[in-house]
Amino acid sequence: MNRDRGQVVLLAAVVVAIALVPMALAYAQLSYDAGAEAPGPDVDDTRRALSASFTDAAAQTDGAYLWRDRERAVSAVRTELASDVARVENATLAADRSLRVTYNGSEAAGWAARNCPGGRGRVFGPCRVEDGVVVQQRGNETAVVAAAFDLRVVAADERTNATVVVRAV
């Protein structure tokens, strides 16, 4: 009788082990890391809002500034974005959160180094970073290309820091 009980327990253990194999494979394929913190909805929503606002602000500068006036183009974009940034920051207050959006010049410079073409035969001129905004010389005009932002979300039970780069579409 004890031998039969031992075989049943062994059989049950084998069934459980076989059932865990597909779950382990799915876990490995998804590269799920329980310790990694996914950006919260505030970060995703803020990135989308900043992207839309930045695209609109950059479009308003198209053809309006010569390359030598690129600082004025950046100033115009930042001025245009200021009210949208304030609106996004204030929207989190209703959810008992604090959101701070700041420009990140070093991330913008890194993005420009990775994404702006260089060398002979390139179609456009060089990219430059001015106050966290990437601009590129196209003809003799300034094209506003991208901007990098640091986002800091603070709530009673969480703190999230993220850096996002938005591009003019």
Average pLDDT over residues 88-101: 82
Per-residue confidence band for 96, with pLDDT thresholds at 50, 70 and 90:
confident
Q: Under 8 Å CB-to-CB from 132, ≥6 apart: which residues?
A: 103, 104, 105, 107, 108, 147, 148, 149
Q: What confidence tier does 126 reach under pLDDT thresholds 50, 70, 90?
A: confident
- pLDDT band, very low/low/confident/very high, at 164 (cuts 50, 70, 90): very high
How are beta strands 141-155 and 97-103 bridged, if at all?
A: antiparallel
What is the pTM for the complete model shown?
0.71
pLDDT at 41: 52
- Helices and strands counted in the chain (H then E): 4, 5
- Runs of H (alpha helix) within 40-161: 41-61, 70-91, 105-115
* Segment 114-136 mean pLDDT: 86
